[in-house]
């Protein structure tokens, strides 16, 4: 993989791309933002700012989302400009969350054999009952409320269904032990891997790797060229062993109007 070319393609197709529909990105000035309905994710996904324009652009986005009464995320990548954009976001009242690594792999380079522990099976989530179990996994895995995630997933299923999202649940008997999703972006070469939370008592048994392989096979069958992950420090070593390449660092900066 040519890292520079792949990052340029990601920037063009995933960060700068605009469209129409419920949660489509729109460009305003030198910023591309998403402001979905209901509980959908809101945030800035790309900016092409200069030192003289950055503060005004940040203030404009704060005004826009505050008027909607919505919290939002400014997704900052380490190659974004100006170089002090992170400091400017802090000064504007944003709070940073832990940095993640943008990692990409070609679907043809990834293992697709699903090797699960004895007694564990995978099921496709297609409706509210399954999403309730995904929410349960999230809360056990991360120790935080899954209410917002539940709202987002219900909206995504209603909006695009299997054409844009594939949600998978790992079950041990009737117990949900892990979940993950594949988010497809029609018209691009990329799909995103999200979730991957596992019940604490079921970690280190290969379920995370199995869910990556399962989604890689789905993506390959759909003709998707690349898989993208925003990897935590814990998942990055696993992904590197599977063939993912680190392209950049991304840090979510959150703004809450309340």
Q: What is the pLDDT of residues 229-251, one digit of tens each?
A: 999 998 999 999 999 999 999 99
User: What mean pLDDT is predicted for residues 64-87?
Assistant: 96
User: What mean pLDDT is predicted for residues 68-84?
Assistant: 96
Kindly report each contact of residues 18-25 with a partner whose C-beta sits within 8 Å and lies 24 or more positions away, as own/partner: 21/159, 22/155, 22/159, 23/155, 23/159
Average pLDDT along the chain: 94
Query: How many helices (H) and strands (E) are present in the chain, helices listed first?
Result: 7, 12
- Structure confidence at residue 222 (pLDDT): 95
Q: pLDDT-derived band of residue 39, with 50, 70 and 90 as boundaries?
A: low
Q: pLDDT-derived band of residue 38, with 50, 70 and 90 as boundaries?
A: low
Pairing of strands 42-47, 100-106: unpaired
User: What mean pLDDT is predicted for residues 66-84?
Assistant: 96
Close Cβ partners of 123 (under 8 Å, ≥ 6 residues apart) = 130, 168, 169, 171
Q: pLDDT-derived band of residue 41, with 50, 70 and 90 as boundaries?
A: confident
Q: What is the pLDDT of residues 111-164, one digit of tens each?
A: 999 999 999 999 999 999 999 999 999 999 999 999 989 988 998 888 877 788
Whether residue 20 has pLDDT greater than 80: no
User: What are the structural domain ranges in the chain?
Assistant: 3-101, 111-242
Whether residue 37 has pLDDT greater than 80: no
- Structure confidence at residue 156 (pLDDT): 85
Q: pLDDT-derived band of residue 174, with 50, 70 and 90 as boundaries?
A: very high
Give yes or no for a contact between 171 and 121, defined as CB atoms under 8 angstroms apart. Answer: yes
With 0-12 / 13-18 / 19 or more C-beta atoms within 10 angstroms meaning exposed / middle / buried, residue 168 is buried
CA distances from 55 to 67, 82, 257 (A): 18, 10, 18
Q: What is the pLDDT of residues 182-231, one digit of tens each?
A: 999 989 999 999 988 999 999 999 999 999 999 999 999 999 999 999 99
- Partners of 84 in the β-ladder: none
Fold held by 111-242: Aminopeptidase (3.40.630)
């Amino acid at each position: 993989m040519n890292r520079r070319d792949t990052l340029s393609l990601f920037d063009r197709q995933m960060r700068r791309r605009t469209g129409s529909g419920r949660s489509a990105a729109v460009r305003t000035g030198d910023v591309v933002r998403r402001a979905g309905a209901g509980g959908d994710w809101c945030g800035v996904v790309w900016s092409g700012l200069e030192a003289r324009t950055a503060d005004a652009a940040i203030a404009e986005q704060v005004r826009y989302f505050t008027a909607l009464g919505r919290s939002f995320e400014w997704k900052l990548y380490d190659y974004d400009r100006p170089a002090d954009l992170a400091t400017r976001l802090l000064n504007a009242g944003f709070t940073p969350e832990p940095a993640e690594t943008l990692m990409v792999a070609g679907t043809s380079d990834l293992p697709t054999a699903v090797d699960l522990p004895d007694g564990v099976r995978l099921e496709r989530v297609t409706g509210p009952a399954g999403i309730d179990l995904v929410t349960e996994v999230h809360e056990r895995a991360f120790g935080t409320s899954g209410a917002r995630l539940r709202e987002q997933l219900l909206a995504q299923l209603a909006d695009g269904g299997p054409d844009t999202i594939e949600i998978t649940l790992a079950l041990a008997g009737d117990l949900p032990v892990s979940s993950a999703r594949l988010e497809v972006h029609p018209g691009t070469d990329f799909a995103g891997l999200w979730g991957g939370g596992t019940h604490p008592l079921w970690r280190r048994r290969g379920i995370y790797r199995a869910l990556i392989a399962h989604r890689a096979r789905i993506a390959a069958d759909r003709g998707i060229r690349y898989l993208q992950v925003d990897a935590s420090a814990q998942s990055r070593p696993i992904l590197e062993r599977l063939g993912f390449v680190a392209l950049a660092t991304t840090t979510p900066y959150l703004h809450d109007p309340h």
